[in-house]
Amino acid sequence: MFVSLAPKLRDMGWKSVIPLHNPGKRPIDNGWEAYSQSEPTDFEINRWRKLYPGAGIGLVSGPDAVIAVDLDFLDPAKSARALNIANETLGATPLVRVGQAPKSMLFYRAAVGLDPGGRAFGGYELYRHSGQVVLYGVHPDTRQPYRWIEARPEDVSPSDLPIISQSMLDPFKAKMEPLCETTKRFYDKGHSLLGGASGTSLTGEILSLLNRTEEDPLKVAADCVHGASAGTRHYTMVGAVTALVRKGYTSAEIRAAIEPSYSGTLNAVELRARDEAVAKAIQWAICKTRDGEDSPVQYDAAALTAAWLARK
């Protein structure tokens, strides 16, 4: 894949392409963040073609002046509404990529001076100055290739993409906000939500959210976990699991809802660690709920988190 497609993409003006684990989303080489400031050299591209011929292909945000709009909703109704908002405010684009339907990613060209004002917004992400997105590869969860709905990057140059300005992006963000109410504050507050090492300070926050939402509590809890940053995801998971246990959901229901949101972009070893972490969190939450808040049962969240972060 990388060996054949990378030169075609470079010829079409996609300069900051890098090799990814395939299946997966993670860059193969460390230090890939530097390519948000300057594109890889021809020497580096040719080296990667020799070393990783079957790798997936990612695009590092920055040098290509592309803004990727990631509509990260698994709920079909929300996904359809988000796509309609994008088309209404930003306009249609020939480059629409799907990895795990009904989620989708739309590619535009950023006007000079465009400021997304962050990246994650509790239901969608804007990739302009940082991060990287998948152009080609096999999705780690569906085990199916990422697909393009209409045109493909090797047929469309970044310079040919529709341009979006600040006056277009701001209404898009305003109209998207109601779709993101259940998870946006978990993005915004970040570490201020953490409190104790066990994650119990999040339980009350999430439980309150589950009790007042009209949406499926399992889906809302999963969104909270998905929306947490890498440094807070473990604690958010423990809080979400505990809240669901207190609402009476079974271990099987909780695992089915939380494990996919907790996985992120992981290899087989990390997936096993994820499963172990969720299972232990459920066991701990059940014991704590059964025995009361002063239960002597201890859950070494700090140690497990350290091991988790070391793998990422």
Residue 189 lies in a domain: no
Nearest to 158 by CA among 14, 6, 5, 7: 14
Confidence of residue 295 (pLDDT cuts 50, 70, 90): very low
- Both 145 and 290 in one domain: the answer is no
Per-residue pLDDT reduced to its tens digit, 232-251: 677 788 888 888 888 888 88
| Residue in the structure block whose two tokens are 């090797």 | 154
Residue 65 sits in the same domain as residue 99: yes
- Count of domains observed in the chain: 2
Distance CA 99, CA 117 (A): 25
Domain contains 39: yes
pLDDT at 265: 42
What integer pLDDT is reported at residue 44 of this predicted model? 95
The answer to whether residues 13 and 38 belong to one domain is: yes
**If DSSP states are collapsed to H, E and C, what string results for the chain?**
CHHHHHHHHHHCCCCCEEEECCCCCCECCCCHHHHHCCCCCHHHHHHHHHHCCCCEEEEECCCCCEEEEEECCCCHHHHHHHHHHHHHHCCCCCCEEECCCCCEEEEEEECCCCCCCCCECCCEEEECCCCEEEEECECCCCCCECEECCCCHHHCCHHHCCEECHHHHHHHHHHHHHHHHHHHHHHHHHHHHCCCCCCHHHHHHHHHHHHHCCCCHHHHHHHHHHHCCCCCHHHHHHHHHHHHHHCCCCHHHHHHHHHHHHHCCCCHHHHHHHHHHHHHHHHHHHHHHHHCCCCCCCCCHHHHHHHHHHHC
Question: Are residues 45 and 7 in contact, defined by beta-carbon separation less than 8 angstroms?
Answer: yes
CB 148 within 8 A of CB 96: yes
State if pTM tops 0.85: no
Q: Are residues 171 and 39 in the same domain?
A: yes
Give the long-range contacts of residues 248-254, CB within 8 A, separation 24 or more.
Answer: 249/217, 249/218, 251/279, 251/282, 251/286, 253/218, 254/218, 254/278, 254/282
Domain extent at residue 242: 194-311
Same domain, 226 and 173: no
Query: Which position has the higher pLDDT, 308 or 296?
Result: 308
Asked if the model's pLDDT at residue 2 lies above 50, the reply is: yes
- Say yes or no: 156 and 250 in one domain: no
Res. 223: pLDDT tops 90:
no
Q: Which of 179, 208, 223 is the last residue of a domain?
A: 179
| Average per-residue pLDDT for the chain | 80
The position carrying tokens 């140059």 is 157
